[in-house]
Structure 1
Amino acid sequence: MTTKQSQQFRKLELTKAFAVVDQIAAEKGIPSLTYPSPPATSADVVPIPSAPSTLAEAEAAENAKTTPVSLAKPLKPAKPKKLSMEDEEGAAAMQRLTIDLPSYLFKEIAQRGFDQNASAKYVILQALQNDRFTIKPEDMKKDGRRAKKETRHAA
């Protein structure tokens, strides 16, 4: 049977190394380092109270609290999401449709939109309209970008 002996490691003296680093930093004009503060003393440590072992102790501890402590900020109620996307002119509510297209078709739609100075959505709606799908004229916007809201400038 073999017994493992614990090895004693010698304590590193970093104060000399820190002094050399400070000296080189001063010579080179490098900002000085900030060293960590020494460990807290026992006077700085706040003991954590032990958990009550019985229901009666828990109720007594709860009743002993005089002021409630709030650690977190109260949450703001969430804003409701818009279910329909109506724009300023009162166009029809929009629904999102995600489809996968072959890359050559996607490139052709993008190129046609570029050639017509229009959005890809407009090109697709135009193709559907040409195939006799009902599309209202107010929904046929050549430039599908959102309109900028007026900003008020302080005078």
Structure 2
Amino acid sequence: LNNMSFWMFIGGFGCLVSGFLTEEGMGVGWTLYPTLICVDFHSSLACDFVIFSVHFLGISSIINSINIIGTIFCCRRKYFSFLIWTLFIWGSLVTSALLILTLPVLAGGVTLLLCDRNFNTSFYDVVGGGDLVLFQHLFWFFGHPEVYIIILPIFGLISTI
């Protein structure tokens, strides 16, 4: 799992760099807002590269989280109970669980965005009957726990030191 996660990360990074260097670049911001990324306003292939990089990096993070959870539960000793785990182990465990829960929602949101761009659907297009606020809800379902995903291992590491 660790090797597959690493190579998916490299592939996602390659797609991200390709997105920055293709044609005029991504130019839609870090939130991938649907009205800015639609084909009418930004028809560059760079946006598709960035969306695929979000998928690759998300899959890499999920695989890595499964690896961390498996390592925490399978590599402990009999006398090493849950009560004496350090805060860093608990932070890594909660962070991995949050990643496994929230990244599929983000992947679903950007998949719908990719379908709107390339397959003429209207999940986020108001003219076609879509809901623009849906992407914001899906994005912030990932975005709010992302703060805890970033900060929990740091708190655990600092408390261990």
TM-score by length of 2: 0.17
* Higher-helix-fraction structure: 2
Larger Rg: 1
Higher relative contact order (CA 8 A, sep 6+): 2
What TM-score do the two structures reach when normalised by structure 1? 0.18
